[in-house]
Homo-oligomer: A and B are copies of this chain.
Amino acid sequence: MIEKNTELKIIEAARKVFLVRGYSGARMQDIADEAGINKAMLHYYFRNKDKLFESIFSESVNNIRDIFSQSLNSEKEIDNTLINFIATYSEFIKNNRYLPSFIINEMQQGSEMVEDLFKKNIKMYPIEFIKKLKKEQSLGTLEKYDPLQIIVSIIGLCLFPVLAQPVLKILFDYDDNKYDKFLTERVAFLQKFIIKGLKK
């Protein structure tokens, strides 16, 4: 087993701690423990907590942006674009449970630093997808809903069960396995439900 370099170990540990606990809940000591080093090293590599946080937050925003544009901008026609997006995006979110709530929460705090980092990194506006929607709407195959309402709905339908996972698990009395099954089955459900909801 090759020993990973320290900077990488720190990044991975910081990612784990920040994504679950958030900026204010994260402890430098916890990150050091998770990385198997001491606190001083954190400051040696990343001057302070803010700088370390910035690097984690930025990469998180980039990850969300990449998977989003990558899975939405397909050359296929509308049905397959939707089916493909729902599957790809759901899979990504399932494997990155804490990403959405992390970003949403930090943004909610309204700190300048976070908002600037977000603006700097995000740059995504699904123009191509909106064009595709509008074309179908004018052809009369899709209901004439506001494209942004549609997009927020699709993303929300994929994200919400992962965002609210800790709450929903208790409400439904589902263990990890059952909830995982719920998420897996959800993909097919969403593909059908969304397309039916949009079609004229």
Contact = CB atoms under 8 A, between A and B. Distances in A.
A67 interface: no
Interface string A151-176: 01101110111011011101110000
Interface in A92-108: 98, 101, 103-105, 107-108
A170 B108 contact: no
Interface stretch (A45-53, A81-89, A189-197): A189-197
A152 B179 CA distance: 12
Given A145-B193, A166-B108, A196-B143, A160 B152 contact: yes
A161 B152 contact: yes
Contacts of A197: 193-194, 196-197
A103 B193 contact: no
Q: On chain A, which size bracket covers the interface? A: 35 or more
Interface string A95-135: 00010010111011110000100110010110000000000
A105 B105 contact: yes
A87 to B, nearest CB: 16
A8 interface: no
B160 A155 contact: yes
A45 to B, nearest CB: 24
A77 interface: no
A104 B108 CA distance: 13
A137 to B, nearest CB: 14
A185 interface: yes
Given A24-B24, A122-B171, A160-B160, A104 B101 contact: yes
25 contacts: A20-B109, A21-B24, A22-B24, A23-B25, A24-B24, A24-B25, A25-B25, A98-B108, A103-B167, A145-B193, A148-B182, A149-B193, A152-B160, A152-B161, A152-B164, A153-B193, A155-B164, A156-B156, A156-B159, A156-B164, A193-B197, A194-B197, A196-B196, A196-B199, A197-B197
